[in-house]
Structure 1
Amino acid sequence: MKKSLLFIFVNLILLVAISCKKINDKAGSTALEEIPEDSHPSFDSTMVTTFFKKHPLLEKYQNEVRELYQKHQYHYVWYDKKGVNEFGSLLHNKIINIEEEGVLTSIPYRQKLDSIYEIAPASQKPNVTTELLNTSMYFFYVDKVYQGLDTEKTNQMEWFLPREKQSYSKYLDSLLVNPSLIKKEENGLFAQYYLLKKVLKNYRQIEKKGGWETIVLDSAVKSLNVGDSSRAIAQLRTRLFLTGELKNDSKSAIYDDELTKGVLEFKRQTQNTSSTIILPSHLKILNIPVTDRIKTIIVNMERCRWIAKDVTKAKELIAVNIPAYELTYFKDGKPSFKSNVVVGKTLNKTVIFSAPMRYIVFSPYWNVPYSIIKNEIKPGIEKDPDYLAKHNMEWNEGHVRQKPGPKNSLGLIKFLFPNSNSIYLHDTPSKHLFSRRDRAFSHGCIRVEKPKELAEVILKEDPNWTPEKINKAMHKGKESWYTLKNKIPVYIGYFTAWVDTKGDLHFYDDIYDRDKPLADLLFDK
């Protein structure tokens, strides 16, 4: 996926989780409790109810606020001996700049919050309203920035990757003791959130300067080629310079070698065939307004919030990004193998979920799903009584299965991670599909372009297997199952914007039209 895919993780969560271990004493008390109690006077517990009656826009966080103060016997936590502590000012700065986190929301009681920090916070005496407003706004911030949409809404987005509900009350203690933690960013296995945050800043700067000009081809021109000269080429050069595919903008209207490099880079980042020809279809992509690109980045930052942080702990991980048509195998947190894939067509969408891989099946049978028997095989048999024999199929206990062999629809190998969606990875005899830009052709399962190589990296440290034995088992013509010694998490995710290890931003087609419903939720504020 955490959230190549999938899926970075919250600096607040990762860093604080580490720091908590360091600041807890042997008895398990938090560092906040180690501060002399006389620097933390208490307040009347009934004031919590009073506060939320006066601040109903923050009522969502009442239970968390109450639990926090019950734990600390209703002592003030935002004040030290001098006044409002350092973390209060840092949190205020984070909140008023929350748009930098890809969060588009109004800030409740913004004026009241700002007024607290308009005067020197260190000179202020303990005040219950200030105290409870700071605490409520802390939970508001972590909810918006680190939790994102709730599970019910993400399920409506057909996103079924596991989510881990966090309790941020404990983390607040550590931040109050060491405020600098909130300034840091920790790039784990999926550093996507922070990488997307960085490119979001760049794209917003482009937007403030007016965005980019629409590239217009003369009606008589069908394509742009090396050596051509036109105004559209000068526009293309400027467009690629703005988003970094070109390092310089010479303003030249001639399609030269320098522009060639930028065009090839643009095509690499948008899954287009590596050629120097610019067609109207390419200009259509380049002319997508910067405001729309910003929305896409923000939508994918939100998806990063839905990735469970424990993904980073996996020694091995297989991640499939559906819109990228790409599988990545991670070893010890680093990508060590990639393969193109074919995913489900629009009517048979590949589901977004995760499950542990348990088995590799060599020379597999293909047990044909009933829907395919009904819609394809039975009509085929009616037209041709020899349909099953011609397709190397047979009846088996009332079901149809295709025999092992090179023409088997699953190819020579499949990888099973049992799940209710009946989705798995497999080989395919239809190798020509991998050369296409759009690769949504399957009935829902994921076809792998390099299945033998995937098996080799998975079994590399298993003494029972060598590349030669894997190849032999694949071509044996008799189905055999192998149980993996170590289960490998498989995450199937959906990201239409992704920053690679080089720092380059890739945009992928929204093949299942999932971005707009999510954008409507995020931007309808």
Structure 2
Amino acid sequence: MRKLYIFIIPLFSLVLIITTSCKKFTDKAGATALEQTTEERELTFDSTFVNTFFQKHPLLDKYQNEVNELYQKHQFHYIWYDKNGVNEFGSLLHNKIINIEEEGVLTSIPYRQKLDSIYESPSSGQKPNPTTELLNTSMYFYYVDKVYQGLDTESTNQMEWFLPREKQTYGKYLDSLLVNPSLIKNKEKGLFYQYYLLKNVLKSYRQIEKNGGWKTVKMDSAVKSLNLGDSTHTIAQLRTRLYLTGELKSDSKSAIYDDQLAKGVLKFKETNRNASSTIILPSHLKVLNIPVSERIKTLVVNMERCRWIAKDITKAKELIAINIPAYQLTYFENGKPTFRSNVVVGKTVNKTVIFSAPMRYIVFSPYWNIPYSIKKNEILPGIKKDPNYLAKHNMEWNDGKVRQKPGPKNSLGLIKFLFPNSNSIYLHDTPSKHLFSRRDRAFSHGCIRIEKPKELAEILLKDDPKWTSEKIDEAMNKGAESWYTLKNKIPVYIGYFTAWVDVDGNLHFYDDIYERDEPLAALLYEK
């Protein structure tokens, strides 16, 4: 995340392609248009061809409204032809489409043979033809739909992904480019920047697959672990495996566990959430032996998730992002990560929801108003067994509900951060600090426990001179609940990425703790 690698700008690559092929001139009124002869500008086709085209090409009929709207604005003039036939933009778009798999899109391209014939036969695309024209336009919408839009909102909701999505209007965007090619100066990207980083990794992993993938690293039956100085055939296999994915810059083929290999092992462990140790256990080899085909599937799945992020997310002055599988919170200021904290998220039966909401309040020395489900399933059975259950847990009745009083043993700890939402999820401190030392940290009822709550409070209150570190500490330990309303509402995004490229270009894989990858992959790999 050199900048907040979260997404933006529709179609930069296509913008470049379009503007390369669009020539402009300025009329007396200063308006811009395509540079064509009078005869070429008057060349149109009958509007009835649109319906006829989609009747004969039903696999593209979802784009009929967009195509109609585009040509109505252009009075049904040809836009894919110049004096030499189909323009350069058409050829470049065709190349993009036939290589769409590079974008992590797995699909059978509709009417591929007909499309190929236009560009592979020198004479087929020379004279303006309404079928060729409409096929090009429809394939433009097909491409941007698959690459920039991805699965529709109904499908993403079924994946329990409730982050806001922006409806893109690619017809209007194309129209604006045809009228004003100077938009090429806009350097924003069409997707969350993380998408492009994953795309680069996908290319290298597909090359590894093409070359035969990697061989299984087998632990020597005579040992239970590998340590510096050990010598075994497993060491040579491990060295080659780490070289293939870049943890090692060279492969000496040595079967001795030396310092060079140790550096590669540490890098591997860092990017797979393992303890920083040079010891290799069978569990580590199990991760290394995941087939390259499965890793490719993980990359494709997370590229798809990148398509679901609203493009204006990085424009926020402040932003809090939480990646559930990484068990990590990151605070961004002006697009740059300035603070990180480990977190505990919901266990499998109490999944933390993927959504976004603005943070509005900080609550010091909070009460814990116990949810009905916990009251029913845990508190009431506890009271039945022990009449003093509430007193022992510093709890009390409050208008028919149960709440836990403020204090160091409160389940919310000494502070909580509220971003009101229908899921009743928030960030909070915890007295169970030992949980943050665990590799897997899915223990909560759905809310998010933060390891460094005071540090986060200090960051959020840094512009208020009244809230010094000492005052924050005092409020947290006062034993009486108090609320602070943030002057600036800070967006909080809770996401789910099982593959991520960091600011240094290192690829991280995270465990799919809620088993969300396979259902999504099943949709993406449908033919």
Q: TM-score range by the shorter chain?
A: over 0.9
Match of 1:402 among 404, 418, 426: 404
1:458 offset after TM fit, Å? Answer: 1.3
1:57 offset after TM fit, Å? Answer: 1.1
Looking at structure 1, the residues matched to 451 and 148 of structure 2 have their Cα atoms a distance apart, in angstroms, of: 36
Deviation string for 1:168-188 (max 9, x for gaps)? 012223555788989998569
1:219 offset after TM fit, Å? Answer: 2.5
| Pairing 1:374–2:376 present | yes
Q: Could you tell me which residue of structure 1 aligns to residue 132 of structure 2?
A: 130
1:32 and 1:464, CA in 2 relative to 1: closer, same or farther beyond 3 A?
farther
1:413 and 1:84, CA in 2 relative to 1: closer, same or farther beyond 3 A?
same
1:376-455 alignment runs, 5 A limit: 376-455=378-457
**Letter of the 1:265 counterpart:** K
**Letter of the 1:136 counterpart:** S
Q: Please say which of residues 144-153 and 376-385 is displaced more in the overlay.
A: 376-385
Q: Could you tell me which residue of structure 2 aligns to residue 76 of structure 1?
A: 78
Looking at structure 1, the residues matched to 128 and 350 of structure 2 have their Cα atoms a distance apart, in angstroms, of: 60
| Pairing 1:275–2:277 present | yes
1:298 offset after TM fit, Å? Answer: 0.2
Q: Could you tell me which residue of structure 2 aligns to residue 331 of structure 1?
A: 333
Q: Residue 12 of structure 2 contacts residue 188 of structure 2 at CA under 8 Å; is this kept in 1? A: no
Q: Residue 197 of structure 2 contacts residue 501 of structure 2 at CA under 8 Å; is this kept in 1? A: yes
Match of 1:222 among 211, 221, 224: 224
Q: Could you tell me which residue of structure 2 aligns to residue 470 of structure 1?
A: 472
Instruction: Please give the secondary structure, in 2, of the residue aligned with 1:506.
Output: strand
1:420 and 1:28, CA in 2 relative to 1: closer, same or farther beyond 3 A?
farther
Q: Residue 26 of structure 2 contacts residue 33 of structure 2 at CA under 8 Å; is this kept in 1? A: no
1:303 offset after TM fit, Å? Answer: 0.3
Q: Residue 354 of structure 1 contacts residue 492 of structure 1 at CA under 8 Å; is this kept in 2? A: yes
Q: Residue 360 of structure 2 contacts residue 489 of structure 2 at CA under 8 Å; is this kept in 1? A: yes
1:140 and 1:121, CA in 2 relative to 1: closer, same or farther beyond 3 A?
farther
Instruction: Please give the secondary structure, in 2, of the residue aligned with 1:418.
Output: coil
Looking at structure 1, the residues matched to 122 and 486 of structure 2 have their Cα atoms a distance apart, in angstroms, of: 61
Q: Could you tell me which residue of structure 1 aligns to residue 8 of structure 2?
A: 9
Identity %: 78
1:83 offset after TM fit, Å? Answer: 2.3
Q: Residue 148 of structure 2 contacts residue 190 of structure 2 at CA under 8 Å; is this kept in 1? A: no
Looking at structure 2, the residues matched to 163 and 142 of structure 1 have their Cα atoms a distance apart, in angstroms, of: 15
Instruction: Please give the secondary structure, in 2, of the residue aligned with 1:462.
Output: coil
**Letter of the 1:333 counterpart:** G
Q: Please say which of residues 144-153 and 120-129 is displaced more in the overlay.
A: 120-129
Q: Could you tell me which residue of structure 1 aligns to residue 205 of structure 2?
A: 203
Q: Residue 323 of structure 2 contacts residue 494 of structure 2 at CA under 8 Å; is this kept in 1? A: yes
Q: Could you tell me which residue of structure 1 aligns to residue 158 of structure 2?
A: 156
Instruction: Please give the secondary structure, in 2, of the residue aligned with 1:510.
Output: coil
Q: Residue 364 of structure 1 contacts residue 480 of structure 1 at CA under 8 Å; is this kept in 2? A: yes
**Letter of the 1:283 counterpart:** L
Q: Residue 330 of structure 2 contacts residue 337 of structure 2 at CA under 8 Å; is this kept in 1? A: yes
1:117 offset after TM fit, Å? Answer: 1.1
1:161-180 alignment runs, 5 A limit: 161-176=163-178
1:29 and 1:339, CA in 2 relative to 1: closer, same or farther beyond 3 A?
farther
Q: Please say which of residues 177-186 and 495-504 is displaced more in the overlay.
A: 177-186
1:157 and 1:448, CA in 2 relative to 1: closer, same or farther beyond 3 A?
same
Deviation string for 1:245-292 (max 9, x for gaps)? 111111111111111101110010000111111111111100000000
**Letter of the 1:381 counterpart:** I
1:245-260 alignment runs, 5 A limit: 245-260=247-262
Q: Could you tell me which residue of structure 2 aligns to residue 39 of structure 1?
A: 40
**Letter of the 2:113 counterpart:** Q
Pairs aligned (count) = 520
Looking at structure 2, the residues matched to 471 and 305 of structure 1 have their Cα atoms a distance apart, in angstroms, of: 41
1:335-354 alignment runs, 5 A limit: 335-354=337-356
1:111 offset after TM fit, Å? Answer: 1.3
Instruction: Please give the secondary structure, in 1, of the residue aligned with 2:144.
Output: helix
Deviation string for 1:443-489 (max 9, x for gaps)? 00000000111111111122332222211111111111011101011
Instruction: Please give the secondary structure, in 1, of the residue aligned with 2:384.
Output: helix
Q: Residue 187 of structure 1 contacts residue 194 of structure 1 at CA under 8 Å; is this kept in 2? A: no
Q: Please say which of residues 140-149 and 76-85 is displaced more in the overlay.
A: 76-85
1:130 offset after TM fit, Å? Answer: 0.9
Looking at structure 2, the residues matched to 332 and 28 of structure 1 have their Cα atoms a distance apart, in angstroms, of: 40
Q: Please say which of residues 444-453 and 458-467 is displaced more in the overlay.
A: 458-467
Instruction: Please give the secondary structure, in 2, of the residue aligned with 1:394.
Output: strand
1:389 offset after TM fit, Å? Answer: 1.1
Looking at structure 2, the residues matched to 188 and 46 of structure 1 have their Cα atoms a distance apart, in angstroms, of: 33
Q: Residue 161 of structure 2 contacts residue 355 of structure 2 at CA under 8 Å; is this kept in 1? A: yes
1:9 offset after TM fit, Å? Answer: 3.3
**TM-score of the two chains, using structure 1 as the length reference:** 0.93
Deviation string for 1:126-154 (max 9, x for gaps)? 11111000000000000000000001110
Structure 1 stretches lacking a partner, 5+ long: none
**Letter of the 1:324 counterpart:** A
Q: Please say which of residues 372-381 and 320-329 is displaced more in the overlay.
A: 372-381
**TM-score of the two chains, using structure 2 as the length reference:** 0.93
**Letter of the 1:239 counterpart:** R
Backbone CA RMSD of aligned residues: 2.8
